[in-house]
Chains A and B, each alone.
Chain A
Amino acid sequence: MYHVATTSQFGLVFESFLPQVQTMTPILYFGLFAMSFDFISGYTGYLSFGHAVFYGTGAYLVIVIANGKIPLLAAGTPFMISVVLAAVLAALIAVAIGLVSFRLTGVYFAMITLGFAQVFYVFIRGWDWVATAPRDGPSVSFGTHPEGFRIGIPYVDGASYAIGRLYGSGLEGFLGLFDLSTTVVSFYMIGLVVLVCYLAMQRIIHSPFGRVMIAIRENEERARAIGYNTFYYKLGAFAISGAFAGVAGALFAGYRRSVTPENTFYFLTTGDALLSSIIGGLGTLAGPLYGRLFEQGLDEFLSKGSEGGGLLPMLQEYLSRSILETNALGLTIEEMIDAFINGRASLYVGIVFVLFVLFVPNGLLGSLRERVGGPIAKLPGRLFGGEKP
Chain B
Amino acid sequence: MIDATLFTAEVVPLSIVDAFVEFLHPSELVGVLVDGLSKAAIYAMIAGGLTLIFGLMGVLNFAHGSLTMVGAYLGGAIMVLSVSSATGPMTRLAFFFVGIVVVFGALSAVGGALEISLIRRLYDRPPIAQILLTFGLTLIIDELMRIVLEFYDLQPRADWIAAWGTKPWFLSQRLSIGPVDVRGLALFEILMGVLTVGAIWAFLTRTRYGLFIRAGSEDSEMASALGIDVRRVFTVVFAMGTGVAGVAGMLLMWDTLWGASVPLGAETLLPAFVVVIIGGLGTFRGTVVAALLVGMVDAVMTWWFVNEIRFTGLPELTIFLILVIVLIVRPQGLYGVEGVGGH
Q: Which residues of A contact B (CB under 8 A)?
A: 47, 100, 103-108, 110-112, 114-116, 118-119, 122-123, 125-129, 133-135, 267-268, 271, 274-275, 278, 339-340, 344, 346-347, 349-351, 353-354, 357-358, 361
Binding-face segment, B37-45, B144-152, B238-246:
B144-152
Query: Across the A-B interface, how many residue pairs have beta carbons closer than 8 Å?
Result: 132
Residues of B within 8 A of A135 (CB): 3
Residues of B within 8 A of A123 (CB): 6, 313, 317
Known: A116-B324, A119-B321, A354-B136. A108 touches B277 (CB 8 A): yes
| Residue in B140, B270, B312 with the greatest tally of chain A CB atoms within 10 Å | B140
Residues of A within 8 A of B139 (CB): 275, 346-347, 349-350, 353
Contact A115 B127 (CB under 8 A): no
Please give me the residue from chain A that is nearest to B121 by CB atom.
A358
Residues of B within 8 A of A114 (CB): 270, 273
Contact B324 A274 (CB under 8 A): no
Residues of B within 8 A of A106 (CB): 127, 341-343
Residues of B within 8 A of A361 (CB): 125, 129
B window 120-147: CB within 8 A of A: 121-122, 125, 127-129, 131-133, 135-140, 142-144, 147
Contact B316 A122 (CB under 8 A): yes
CB distance from B298 to the nearest CB of A (A): 13
Residues of B within 8 A of A128 (CB): 5-8
Residues of B within 8 A of A267 (CB): 266, 270
Residues of B within 8 A of A339 (CB): 147, 150-151
Residues of B within 8 A of A122 (CB): 313-314, 316-317, 320
Alpha-carbon distance A350/B136, docked complex (angstroms): 5
- Asked whether B30 is an interface residue with its Cβ less than 8 Å from the other chain, the reply is no
Residues of A within 8 A of B46 (CB): none
Contact B136 A108 (CB under 8 A): no
Contact A100 B328 (CB under 8 A): yes
Contact B7 A104 (CB under 8 A): no
Contact A111 B323 (CB under 8 A): yes
Residues of A within 8 A of B121 (CB): 358
CB distance from B24 to the nearest CB of A (A): 27
Residues of A within 8 A of B131 (CB): 47, 107, 110
Known: A106-B127, A118-B270, A267-B270. A129 touches B7 (CB 8 A): yes
Known: A110-B131, A122-B316, A344-B143. A358 touches B118 (CB 8 A): yes
Contact A47 B128 (CB under 8 A): yes
- Asked whether B281 is an interface residue with its Cβ less than 8 Å from the other chain, the reply is yes
Task: List 6 A-B pairs, minimum CB-CB distance, nearest first.
Answer: A350-B139, A347-B143, A126-B313, A350-B140, A353-B136, A354-B136
Known: A123-B317, A128-B7. A111 touches B342 (CB 8 A): no
Alpha-carbon distance A75/B137, docked complex (angstroms): 44
A127 in complex: contacting residue of B6, B270, B343, CB < 8 Å: B6
Alpha-carbon distance A125/B320, docked complex (angstroms): 15
Known: A115-B324, A115-B327. A354 touches B270 (CB 8 A): no
CB distance from B297 to the nearest CB of A (A): 14
- Asked whether B60 is an interface residue with its Cβ less than 8 Å from the other chain, the reply is yes
Please give me the residue from chain A that is nearest to B336 by CB atom.
A108
Contact B127 A107 (CB under 8 A): yes
Alpha-carbon distance A110/B323, docked complex (angstroms): 12
Residues of B within 8 A of A344 (CB): 143, 147
Contact A351 B140 (CB under 8 A): yes
B342 in complex: contacting residue of A47, A100, A105, CB < 8 Å: A105
CB distance from B46 to the nearest CB of A (A): 16
Seed contacts A103-B328, A351-B136; 17 additional CB < 8 Å A-B pairs: A47-B131, A105-B342, A106-B342, A111-B327, A115-B274, A116-B324, A118-B270, A118-B316, A122-B314, A125-B313, A126-B6, A275-B139, A347-B147, A353-B132, A354-B137, A357-B129, A361-B129
Residues of A within 8 A of B270 (CB): 114, 118, 267
Known: A106-B343, A351-B140, A358-B118. A278 touches B324 (CB 8 A): no
Please give me the residue from chain A that is nearest to B141 by CB atom.
A350
| Residue in A107, A271, A351 with the greatest tally of chain B CB atoms within 10 Å | A107
